[in-house]
């Protein structure tokens, strides 16, 4: 399988990464090189094989449902590019 | 003072305990060495004041008989570990100004045990790379050079700064992380020891995430014993990471010097690649001989799905990365580039913040997870991963205790030499290490010889899950025979 220029633009949009028009061709080449490399997986017989979901066999740990952390808005917001009154600021989303 | 930086971690620990040296003396010697070695670009942030104040506190504890297992030991921390109040960037422009308000579990355990922080070390951006060339702080120069040549070489990656710092004696040990070989490959390139423990041995909490089902932290050190000492402090259960197992941490150091008599060592035939340099073949056979002389039994084994590990990795790892890196959106932390609306802001922020390799992997990951392609790529890769793990399980079930393989398909290469035209050329560096991440197993790289140009080469030992101890015992046999590999300073 390989990707065309339109697919590259669509992936960039899904990944939320701006890609300039003059970068599309180069990216397409790189992505197709990677896809060509992984193509060999198609020759493996995977019929009836469970896909791996956990590399170490272990049951999910359970804990008591109680508050263990929080209440520190200042620390949470300390690295925000823009914040005000305990909120993150973003460009207007709803008209 | 130079002699203090040439101590091993274990030697320094013993001399501190005997009051032969002070922690402040030891730290100062390293602070001076770090400042003199800036040409290597191994550190992206030096924290000398913090180091000295931590060393003073260590001296007080040493005097009071309250010394921890790493008391007064100066360490370097890969810039992937969140350090409270100390800038942590993952060597990405998108995190240029990120100052964590919390400490990673692993580093907090190191400080609990008395270690001293010298600074943060360089790595490939978000740990994506095998040469440290994708870092937003620029590449690291290896302390090693080919005999009679000034060509700057890569230290390997992604933990290139950590490996270079250890090899150049700019710390007594360094933290590192390994998603596809990022501890073991730079260790092999720089003549140092690096262990990736079993998945779940160390907490991932507070370590910048790349591919969560593969990421595992471990130490890079001068010797096998040092790695055992440092791993003991790094490992252990953590309620903040549900994938971190509830298992007691053994005294790994006690495994050093333990007899390897009767251990069955698998030699996987699939690791013998066409066109592999003769020197790699040579150190591999040499390693076999050393283990045999020490009483181990060699067994030919087969891991038939080996060749599919790297392609499967380049689906699984980018897929998980695309999901993990979705958090860099210009809202909660890191870089923000203004846009005409919120989507435009996201897209511009991520375009400017991510380097070329990260962008490429996020895009591939997005593609293989997208509707219509998930089954063909991601699901199949996870099925292949089950088969890769099964290969190992069958060998272990047949009585194999560990496997011996080369660590890398070549010695270190020159800066700018690889991956320029085709990204896959760079990926092939991890052909021997990536299988271990896919199967969640422990793997250690130990220096075992040199190539014709005097560059170090490493061997890899792969162990059963949670049997790092056997790797330390076997690794020390190789180290004892091969000797240590120390770079000659030119910086």
Domain assignment present for A31: yes
C-alpha span between B351 and B153 (Å, rounded): 29
Domain assignment present for A68: no
* pLDDT digit string, tens, across residues B245-287: 999 999 999 999 999 999 999 999 999 988 888 999 999 999 9
Domain assignment present for A93: no
C-alpha span between B392 and B401 (Å, rounded): 11
Q: What integer pLDDT is reported at residue A1 of this predicted model?
A: 75
Query: Distance (Å) from the C-alpha of residue A65 to the closest C-alpha of chain B?
Result: 13
DSSP state of A21: G
User: B439: left (phi > 0), else alpha (psi -120 to 50), else beta?
Assistant: alpha
Q: Is B78 a catalytic residue?
A: yes
pLDDT band at B311 (very low <50, low <70, confident <90, very high): very high
Provide the token pair at B163. 């490996």
A69 → chain B, closest CA residue: B240
Mean pLDDT of chain A: 93
C-alpha span between B64 and B24 (Å, rounded): 16
* Average of per-residue pLDDT across A6-11: 97
pTM for the whole structure = 0.97
Number of domains into which chain A is organized = 1
Of A51-60, B46-55, B59-68, B208-217, the range with the lowest mean pLDDT is A51-60
CB B407 within 8 A of CB B445: yes
* Domain boundary assignment for chain B: 2-262
* pLDDT digit string, tens, across residues A16-44: 999 999 999 999 999 999 999 999 999 99
Domain assignment present for A61: no
Angle among Cα B234, B156, B303 to the nearest 5 degrees reads 80
Output the DSSP codes for A23-74: GHHHHHHHHHHHHHHHGGGGGS--TTPPPPS-SS--PPP----S--S---HH
Domain assignment present for A22: yes
Q: CATH classification of B2-262 is 1.10.357.10, yes or no?
A: no
Q: What integer pLDDT is reported at residue B275 of this predicted model?
A: 83
Complex ipTM above 0.90?
yes
Domain assignment present for A17: yes
What residues of A are in contact with residue B425 (Cβ under 8 Å)?
none
Burial class (CB in 10 A: 0-12, 13-18, 19+), B248: exposed
Of B127-131, B168-172, B418-422, the range with the lowest mean pLDDT is B418-422
What is the span of the domain harbouring residue A27?
Answer: 5-42
Q: What integer pLDDT is reported at residue B420 of this predicted model?
A: 75
Provide the token pair at A94. 């709803």
What residues of B are in contact with residue A13 (Cβ under 8 Å)?
347
Which of A3, A14, A51 faces B386 most closely, judged by CB atoms? A51
Counting other chains too, the contacts that B347-350 makes at CB distance below 8 Å and 24 or more residues apart are B347/A12, B347/A13, B347/A16, B347/A17, B347/A18, B348/A18, B349/B94, B350/A15, B350/A16, B350/A17, B350/A18, B350/B94
What residues of B are in contact with residue A58 (Cβ under 8 Å)?
200, 243, 245
pLDDT band at B355 (very low <50, low <70, confident <90, very high): very high
Domain assignment present for A32: yes
- Say whether A83 sits in a helix, a strand or coil: strand
Which of A7, A30, A81 faces B336 most closely, judged by CB atoms? A81
Q: What integer pLDDT is reported at residue B1 of this predicted model?
A: 44
């Amino acid at each position: 399988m390989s990707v065309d220029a339109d697919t590259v633009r669509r992936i960039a949009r899904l990944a939320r990464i701006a890609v300039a028009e003059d970068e599309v061709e180069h990216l397409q080449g790189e992505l197709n090189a990677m896809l060509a490399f992984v193509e060999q997986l198609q020759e493996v017989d995977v019929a009836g094989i469970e896909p791996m979901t956990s590399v170490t066999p272990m049951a999910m740990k359970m804990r008591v449902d109680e508050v263990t952390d929080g209440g520190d808005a200042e620390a949470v917001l300390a690295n925000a590019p823009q914040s005000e009154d305990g909120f993150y600021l973003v460009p207007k989303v709803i008209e | 003072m130079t002699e203090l930086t040439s101590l091993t971690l274990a030697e320094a620990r013993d001399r501190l305990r005997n009051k032969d040296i002070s922690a402040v003396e030891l730290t100062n010697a390293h602070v001076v060495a770090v400042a003199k070695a800036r040409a290597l670009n191994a550190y992206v942030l030096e924290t000398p004041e913090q180091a000295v104040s931590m060393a003073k506190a260590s001296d007080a504890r040493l005097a009071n008989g309250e010394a921890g297992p790493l008391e007064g030991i100066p360490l370097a921390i890969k810039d992937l570990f969140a350090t409270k109040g100390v800038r942590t960037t993952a060597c990405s422009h998108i995190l240029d100004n990120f100052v964590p308000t919390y400490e990673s579990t692993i580093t907090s355990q190191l400080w609990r045990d008395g270690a001293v922080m010298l600074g943060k070390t360089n790595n490939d951006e978000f740990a994506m790379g095998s040469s440290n060339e994708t870092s937003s702080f620029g590449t690291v120069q290896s302390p090693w050079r080919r005999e009679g040549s000034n060509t700057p070489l890569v230290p390997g990656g992604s933990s290139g700064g950590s490996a270079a710092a250890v090899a150049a004696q700019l710390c007594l040990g360094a933290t590192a992380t390994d998603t596809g070989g990022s501890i073991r490959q730079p260790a092999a390139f720089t003549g140092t020891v690096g262990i990736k423990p079993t998945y779940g041995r160390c907490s991932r909490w507070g370590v910048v995430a790349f591919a969560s089902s593969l990421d595992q932290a471990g130490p890079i050190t001068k010797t096998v014993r040092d790695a055992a000492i440092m791993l003991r402090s790094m490992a252990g259960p953590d309620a903040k990471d549900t994938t971190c197992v509830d298992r007691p941490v053994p005294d790994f150091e006690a495994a050093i010097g333990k007899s390897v008599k009767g251990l069955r060592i698998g030699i996987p035939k699939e690791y013998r690649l066409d066109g592999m340099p003769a020197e790699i073949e040579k150190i591999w056979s040499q390693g076999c001989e050393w283990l045999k002389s020490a009483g181990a039994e060699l067994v030919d084994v087969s891991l038939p799905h080996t060749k599919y590990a790297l392609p499967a990795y380049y689906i699984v790892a980018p897929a998980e990365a695309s999901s993990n890196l979705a958090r860099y959106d210009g809202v909660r932390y890191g870089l923000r580039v203004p846009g005409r609306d919120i989507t435009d802001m996201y897209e511009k922020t991520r375009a400017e913040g991510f380097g070329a390799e990260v962008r490429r992997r996020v895009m591939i990951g997005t593609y293989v997870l997208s509707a219509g392609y998930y089954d063909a790529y991601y699901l199949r890769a996870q099925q292949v991963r089950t088969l890769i793990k099964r290969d190992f399980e069958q060998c272990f079930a047949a009585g194999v205790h560990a496997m011996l393989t080369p660590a890398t398909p070549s010695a270190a290469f020159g800066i700018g030499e690889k991956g320029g035209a085709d990204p896959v050329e760079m990926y092939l560096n991890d052909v021997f290490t990536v299988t271990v991440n896919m199967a969640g197993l422990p793997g250690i790289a130990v220096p075992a010889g040199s190539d014709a140009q005097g560059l170090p080469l490493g061997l890899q030992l792969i162990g059963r899950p949670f049997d790092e101890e056997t790797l330390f015992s076997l690794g020390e046999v190789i180290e004892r025979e091969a000797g240590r590999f120390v770079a000659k300073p030119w910086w």
